Structure 1
Amino acid sequence: MIALSTIAFMILLSNLLIQHKLNQILNDSRVINVAGRQNMLSQRLSNAAIKLRTTLSAQERAEISREMETTLNLLTRSQNALLSSDPEMMVEAKNSSETLKLYENLDSAYHQMVHHGYALHKLNSAAQVYDSTQARYHISSILAQENVFLSGMDAIVNQYDIESRARVDNLIEVEQTLMIIALGIILLEVIFIFRPLAHFIKKIVYTLNQSRIQAKNLAHERTILLRSLQRSQKNLSNVYTAIEQTTLFAKSNLSTQITHVSCQFLAFMGYVNAPYPVLLSDLLQVKDSLLKQKLSYVKNHGSWNGDLRIRSIDEEVKWINMTILPVRNDQGELYEYLFLNTDITQKKEAQFKLQQAKKEKRQQKLYNQRIQSILIMNAQEKERKHIAMDLHDNIGQSITALKYYVEALYSQPEALQVKESLKNISVQLQDTIKNVRRTSFSLMPSVLEHYGIASVLNNFAVEMQRITGQHIVFINTDNFDQRLHATAETNLYRIAQEGVNNALKYAEATTIKIILSSESQKLYLEIIDDGRGFDLNQLTIYPDKTSTGHGIANMQERTKYLMGRFKVDSSPGLGTRILIQVPLNKNKHFIYGNSITS
């Protein structure tokens, strides 16, 4: 506050002093002009007197006499203005002692010229009888005093000029002194205010960048974990036990009628001291068509191995790993099938439990990562808000004060090189103020905190249109004005911000529409532009190869966090339409996670 008050005081003092000095210099110019004109008027009076020497007609003498009267009136009025001021002539008499002394030396010559001039005018008027002897006397007197008057007025004009130059020199000294003081104040503010602020902002930006890198690393680790789980699941499904107990076996003829079955197999299927079915499909309680399909494969390819889900006599579900081998006679003819089985029920149950455990672990991992992402985003938004307040409250005000002071120095008439430099500084400061305000608005608009998503989207459209010069409008189709959860409003604003920035930067759009609408349980946000569009297939194949794909990925991630739906339509040359749908309850409160918050 002390620095700003000092700058304001210096600006006010500088303007007052310079204005006072400029008024003095302007009055000096008028005085010098009037004084210089006195010489011209005296010469005009002498010329008129010389004309009257010659023998002229009464009419011509009367005309010259009227001209002489006008000259005398202006001469006397100007002389009185130089000595005593004349508001109508805008002349303020501030004569120094040297100037008054010169006027005293000139006083006799001036009064004689005026006296003889008026006498000559009266003599040549139409109402008087013309006396040539008196006329020659008055003419001679006027011409005799002309040189004395001219010399005296030249000395007065020179004195005025000397005094005016002294005032100009004094003005330059005052201006240079004030300029040195002002530049010194600016230098001190740069050293003790702006330099520490620059270091502080640099530190904050570094912290934000580290947070962004950490979030990116977490996302990469999540991708690696998902791929590892997929590979493990695939490997586990391809692992088979090569050597197991082979006591569970049976034989059948070509019609799948059982020709032999081990006691262990019968006990495994629950047929203890009980007759067993004739067909193997009935023993296993599987479809006969399925078993015949496997046997057909064995007949054509030599063998078959796979897992089979069966049921025992008491309807208990069991799993076996079955290997079917063809049995041929000495002539190579197929006459029966051998079924070698391994009990893998416990293995299947263990696999199922393992899959369930991995699924739960994966879901828990994803949930934890989501919570971490939420905390990181909230921390980033809080830090953005803090930076926005610092930019607006500290740097913006200081730069604005500097801009006003530089513009005040620029309005001064002297020191052209300094004037040009200050002009460049003024332009640079104006651009800096504009960028600071734009950055502050982009980081965290205060309207979002106080008035909600509809108001901030409207302000965002107006601000972006003013900054870019493109046609950017916000349309609230059903005048939605409800407040949502702060997290929801922040993410919806970031999605709109990302969409508009992509349209301006990559699509080169000239018209962008931001449309907000709602239904009973849904809120819609649309971003439509007339830009050059893009190929959705290329974006699907290479989502991270372009900045547009990265921006859409960010919008998708934020929409997923809001439990919403994201859709993008675009074609080359036909613009882009982005639609975000998030759920609302009946009272239009935002739903996210597993809870409803207003």
Structure 2
Amino acid sequence: MSESKIGEKALDSVIDEMIDTVANSKDEIFLIGEQSRDEFSQLQEELKETKQQVLEIIEDGDNLEQKVRFSRMRLSEVSKHFDKYSEVEIREVYEQTHQLQMDLSVRREQEKQLREKRDDLEQRLRRLNDTVEKADELGAKISVVLNYLNDDFRQVSEALEDAREKQAFGLQIIEAQEEERRKLSREIHDGPAQMLANVMLRSDLVDRTFKQRGPDEAMKEIKDVRRMVRSALYEVRRIIYDLRPMALDDLGLTPTLKKYLATVEDYNEGLQIQFTSHGREDRLHTKYEVALFRLVQEAVQNAVKHAEASIIQVSMEQKNDFVNIIVKDDGKGFDTSEKKEKSFGIVGMKERIEMLEGEITIESEIGQGTKIGIKVPLTD
């Protein structure tokens, strides 16, 4: 048996042992994240109530402090003119002053305790938020690793004979997939998940508003809740579309790009996107349509999110044996000689191009926009 075959069998054996451990860890981390989110929401509500209590007890304490001052002035007046007041009147003034001082002392102690509780809740919320973020990030990584171990790695194993080459190639795939999952996780957490959490909080507020301020104010809150639900639904649909636009399977690359770019233009106020297509418009193999769509999608998203462009030009030329795509923007540009941290979008694009044996060129200068050229040969 060759050394490469022995290496593959040994590697597959290690993968089998790892899969069980990774699968068990995934559910535990997900549970930790969900429990932390629930506790975070509860603590947010508790913090809101505690802050209100602090304000109320401060106001109550200030009123008591004013009463104490007046009572002390009264006691001083009685003491100066002792002979003008009866023993009962003197005792009443003294007892009233003493009681007010005791009440004020209790209020100040309650205020101190509530302030400490408020500070503690804020610290716990910060720690919980860190826990949720770390759980999400770790869960995304584990999902990528598990999927890679179960499916992708075995397919690569069959395609590559040399174990060392297989490992290096696999690590590149993991990095690209991990970033895609992390981006999806962030979009869900910052978009629909946050909106739905706010809906839950606002729904509790509707009942309280109805009881305290009447049906008209409650209806305003209900309208806000409906608006938030609509926004969450829009975000969910957008994320699903980004994952895999159904039009790509039904209509092909060119119509899907037109629809996608029009949607991006509508969603971003002040942005203009110009799309032109030349040459053939017949269907390509699925692997080319998916890859080319993702490349344009990544380039356009970079121009919108990072370049802050106002005009984006996308042109595609389809010949018999290759496809040319150019994505140009008028954004702020960047120094191509300077390596940017976490430039996973560009890395992912380069990896897709390498898998298709294509070429990618990036031209950019600070303040002069960016131009991305993509050329992919059609071998099928």
Q: Shorter-normalised TM-score: what interval?
A: 0.3 to 0.5
- TM-score with structure 1 length normalisation? 0.31
- TM-score with structure 2 length normalisation? 0.48
Higher relative contact order (CA 8 A, sep 6+): 2
